[in-house]
Amino acid sequence: MVTRAEMSRPRKERRGVPASGGSALDMDTAVVILGAGVTALTHPLLYVKLLIQVGHEPQPPTTGSNLFGRKVLYLPGFFSYARHIVRVDGKRGLFRGLSPRIMSSTVSTVVRSRVKQVTPIPDMEHVSNKDDIKTSLRKVVKETSHEMVVQCVARIFTHPFHVISVRCMAQFVGREMKYSGLFSSVAEIFRHEGIAGFFVGLVPHVLGEIIFLWCCNLLAHFINTYAVDDNFSQAPAVRSYTKFVMGIAVSALTYPFLLVADLMAVNNCGLQAGLPPHTPVFRSWIHCWRHLGAQGQLFRGSSFFFRRVPLEMTALAVE
């Protein structure tokens, strides 16, 4: 006979399955669904960004004025660019390369969950306001190291899907159909480039994420420790937003790593967007970085609005 105490326990626990396992599975499923939704909603934004990154400018610049009233040339912003894609490919064209991105998001969630099971979060020491400076710094380093391992493993597993997605979107430049589906794209890359083709651009991507993670966490820690006074009534609220603000600032500084990673994923893969005369064939990601730096293009695609024409393009327009 089942007692009242047993009836009050979760059904899975009464069957011998821990309730926490079910809740963890439900949480992973919810994260996967939410991630897929966010990925789908933001995909047009990232699609336009990728085309700008590879240097595809199908529309002429327009004349405008800056804050000082001087006339400058501006390249089309996100909405103008998106309308151009719709005119060429229809509304569905804004979602080119979406399926590998959803796969990447799903795989990332699963991998992160498995890695965290190997190093359980409850075993980690979290920073407390009661800790002294040396102890709190040690905990921040330990937490960041754990996050770095999770991020690196997830990136290695998801990077092949990122490469496929980037190449699917870059086909817009030359109107190719070389990468039309997930499985056919896998076969195409493996046939011509082997296993290494799935990991083109991985190094700058991982480096950018590692630098972002450490800079963001350490800067937030030092600001919360030395700049925010405990006597200030809003100190807890300020500390809760510090990492978010630092994330925005650091992401701008580490953007060139993301740009180089995306360009390397397209470079010399058989698509017009990654071949001369559209772009040089790069020997390595460092060669790509130096080329962009020499042209002042290391932040190309970082802005969707008020995109000023580069100086060399302005000179050609004047001539």
pLDDT confidence of residue 242: 83
Q: Is residue 276 part of a domain?
A: yes
Residue 121 lies in a domain: yes
Q: Where are the alpha helices (DSSP H) in 175-234?
A: 182-193, 202-222
User: Which residues, in sequence order, are CB contacts of 251 under 8 Å at separation 6+?
Assistant: 212
**Integer Cα distance of 239 and 43 in angstroms:** 32
CATH of the domain at 137: 1.50.40.10
- Per-residue pLDDT reduced to its tens digit, 246-284: 888 899 999 999 999 999 999 999 999 999 999 999 999
Contacts of 101 (CB under 8 A, 6+ apart): 39, 43, 46, 161, 162, 165
Share of the chain above pLDDT 70, in %: 82
Torsion region of 10: left, alpha or beta (phi above 0 gives left; psi -120 to 50 gives alpha)? beta
Q: Is 152 helix (H, G, I), strand (E, B) or coil?
A: helix
Residue 13 lies in a domain: no
Alpha-helical (H) ranges within 175-201 are: 182-193
Q: Domain for residue 10, yes or no?
A: no
Residue 167: Cβ-neighbour burial (10 angstroms; 0-12, 13-18, 19+): buried
Collect the ranges in the chain with pLDDT lower than 70: 1-25, 120-134, 229-233, 310-319
16 within some domain: no
CA distance 51 to 172: 8
User: Does some domain include residue 240?
Assistant: yes
The DSSP element (H or E) to which 75 belongs, if any, is strand 71-75
* DSSP sequence for 235-278: HHHHHHHHHHHHHHHHHHHSHHHHHHHHHHHHTTSSSGGGSTTT
pLDDT at 1: 43
Does residue 124 belong to any structural domain of this protein?
yes
- Residue 16 region, left (φ>0) first, then alpha (ψ -120 to 50), else beta? left
Domain count across the chain: 1
pLDDT value at residue 125 = 53
**Domain contains 216:** yes
pLDDT for residue 264: 97
Contact 107, 156 (CB under 8 A): no
Distance CA 96, CA 180 (A): 9
Structural domain boundaries enclosing 314: 23-318
Helix, strand or coil, per DSSP, at residue 302: coil
Handedness of CA 49, 54, 58, 64 (dihedral sign): positive
Quote the pLDDT of residue 230: 66
